[in-house]
Structure 1
Amino acid sequence: MSFRFLKRERGGWHPFLYAMTVDICHFFDGTFKNPLTTIIYNYMKAYTNFNHSCPYLANTDIRLIRFNLNELDILSRFPVDDGVYGLHTSWYIKNTLVCQMNSSASLTKSYRRP
């Protein structure tokens, strides 16, 4: 899986903070260690069935159910300015692109608490 964070600015979407590729099989078997990947997974693991080592069998559904972000926790770890941010992910199996997912979120001062 490859993912990159983006920020919407003049002229469109621009790279922001991180872009990386992660071998999910190595992540789940413990041979890939990366703090950012671990933080992202820890936010998502309560909401997904995407939590076991490879191989994933054909026709396995991967679900994200009732996902809810804790904005205050994220902002305490990654302080960012107001704006529109995006996440682009590309998923590969044996170097063949099988899925792309894009998401975006808008952050304004009205969402921040003192």
Structure 2
Amino acid sequence: MSKSRFTNIVCESFNKTFGEFKTCRLNVLGRGVIGVQLHLKLFIVPIHTVSSNLGVMRRYNGFRPFMYNTTIDFCKFAKQSKKMSLEKLVFDAIATRSNLNHTCPYTHDIIVDNLVFHDRFLQTLPLPQGEYKIQMLFGSENIWRVQVDIFILREE
């Protein structure tokens, strides 16, 4: 039986006039249970266009690209995400504990409240044990605005 958990989170806003992270941390919720707590305060709303880049990296003498890196129109994806994909797995997991569970426009701050990594998120995408970084870039109006890097340790 494999066990995975969050080990770190790093959030960066590239433009402080667009938005700023008020909270970006991991919380210990119980023995071996780690949750992501994130609050992005948005200063320019409503947001009608959102681009998202999702990349997975694995640690081999530093983090190297591993298997996946794609950019999507997040607003279109939120409306029509029927097919199974890594983006759908990641964003369905985030939607369970956030206010990102609707389509554009976004007129409010972005909040993720104690998202816990469950191995069932990866049932259709088994990963070998190791250290991983999931890098998520979000932008609007064709400008990258924020980056969130989540680090995961996968053990057997």
**TM-score scaled to structure 2, two decimals?**
0.60
> What aligned pairs does 1:1-114 form with structure 2 within 5 A after superposition?
1-10=52-61, 12-30=62-80, 34-36=83-85, 37-57=87-107, 60-71=108-119, 73-109=120-156
- Distance in 2, matches of 1:5 and 1:27, equals 19
Q: CA separation in 1, counterparts of 2:127 and 2:146?
A: 28
Larger helix fraction of residues: 1
Q: TM-score, normalised by structure 1?
A: 0.80
Question: Quick one: structure 1 residues 75 and 45, their matched pair in 2 at CA, closer, same or farther if it must change by over 3 Å?
Answer: closer
Percent sequence identity over aligned pairs: 23
SS in 2 for 1:99: strand
Distance (Å, rounded) in 2 between the aligned partners of 1:80 and 1:56: 33
Task: Give the alignment's Cα RMSD to 1 decimal.
Answer: 1.7
Check conservation: 2:89, 2:121, Cα contact below 8 A: no
Report which structure shows greater RCO (CA 8 Å, sep ≥6).
2
Q: Which runs of 5+ in 1 are unaligned?
A: 110-114
Report if aligned partners of 2:55, 2:136 keep a CA contact under 8 Å in 1: yes
Q: Report deviation, 1:26.
A: 0.5
Give distance in 1, aligned partners of 2:79 and 2:129: 37
Number of equivalent positions: 104
Structure 1 stretches of at least 4 aligned residues deviating more than 6 Å after TM superposition: none
Provide structure 2 residue ranges, at least 5 long, that are not aligned to the other structure: 1-51
Q: Which amino acid aligns with 2:74?
A: I
